[in-house]
A and B are shown apart, each in its own frame.
Chain A
Amino acid sequence: EDQVTQSPEALRLQEGESSSLNCSYTVSGLRGLFWYRQDPGKGPEFLFTLYSAGEEKEKERLKATLTKKESFLHITAPKPEDSATYLCAVQAGETSGSRLTFGEGTQLTVNP
């Protein structure tokens, strides 16, 4: 069974204080790993897709990396508007179809 574990559950940062969020996964045949941002009362907003170990993607203050067992979302010099829940999801092999298996998310708060 595909499993995704995110840590920490919650993270409080001061504006400008860089940090990383972790997503550990156990799947049979990773097809893709996805990062989303979710604001309260809204649907998840797509951020990145990573397909193979060693791959990195960047967008503004965010950088996602992937190894064979985990992914990190690095946040550099965060701003209060980066406050949200960050979700990690995996799509596994043929038998899983297009199902995304989500982690429980990391709730990030950035204080001014």
Chain B
Amino acid sequence: SAVISQKPSRDICQRGTSLTIQCQVDSQVTMMFWYRQQPGQSLTLIATANQGSEATYESGFVIDKFPISRPNLTFSTLTVSNMSPEDSSIYLCSVTQSMGRAQFFGPGTRLTVL
């Protein structure tokens, strides 16, 4: 399986600021995703990061709040914009080679917003 890294691993941010999270994979992958895991809860898909085009967002998530880039087959970024304490979560990227196959997850970025 691919080796996935995320930066930063954790951060503490002030309300109203933005944070960009990076996801790097050690091999080319077809599909990349961004999930959120709020404290004590399970994972919720934010969006699918599409290479060279706009991300596909799930219901309840919008591009203005969570802009995503995917310039190539091994790298993606998620920005959490105009943060509020409700954005405090773990943000995870995942990858898979094709639909129906397992997704592999990065180590996560733990974000705390004060």
Instruction: Please report A residues at the B interface, Cβ cutoff 8 Å.
Output: 31-32, 34, 36, 41-46, 49, 51, 87, 89, 91, 97-100, 102-105
Contact B99 A43 (CB under 8 A): no
A44, B105: Cβ atoms under 8 Å? Answer: yes
Chain A residues with CB below 8 A from B108, complex form: 41-43
Binds A, one of B41-49, B66-74, B75-83: B41-49
- 8 A-B residue pairings within 8 Å (CB atoms): A44-B92, A46-B102, A87-B42, A91-B99, A98-B31, A98-B33, A98-B103, A102-B44
User: Number of B residues contacting the other chain (C-beta, 8 Å)?
Assistant: 26
Question: How near does chain B come to A107, taking the closest CB pair, in angstroms?
Answer: 10
**Given A87-B42, A97-B99, A98-B103: 5 more A-B contacts, CB < 8 Å:** A32-B101, A41-B110, A89-B43, A98-B48, A98-B99
A61 CB → nearest B CB, Å: 20
Q: Which of B25-39 contact A (CB under 8 A)?
A: 31, 33
Q: Report yes or no: A100 in contact with B48, Cβ–Cβ below 8 A.
A: no
How far does the Cβ of B44 sit from chain A's closest Cβ, in whole Å?
8
Interface members, chain B 81-114 (any A CB < 8 Å): 92, 94, 96, 99-108, 110
Shortest A97–chain B CB gap in Å is: 7
Across the interface, do A100 and B100 meet the contact criterion of CB distance under 8 Å?
no
Q: Which residue of B lies closest to A51 (CB)?
A: B100
B54 within 8 A of A: no
- Whether B100 lies near A32 (C-beta < 8 A) is yes
Contacts of B100 in A (CB 8 A): 31-32, 51, 91
**In the bound complex, what is the Cα–Cα distance between A44 and B35 (angstroms)?**
11
Chain A nearest CB from B102 CB (Å) reads 5
Give A40 to B42 CA distance when docked, in angstroms: 13
Instruction: Check A42–B107 contact: CB distance below 8 A.
Output: yes
Shortest Cβ gap from B42 to chain A (Å) = 4
**Interface membership of B58, Cβ < 8 A:** yes
Contacts of B107 in A (CB 8 A): 42-43
The 5 tightest CB contacts between A and B, nearest first, are A43-B105, A102-B42, A102-B43, A43-B108, A44-B105
- The interface residues of chain B lying within 8 Å CB-to-CB of A31 are 99-100
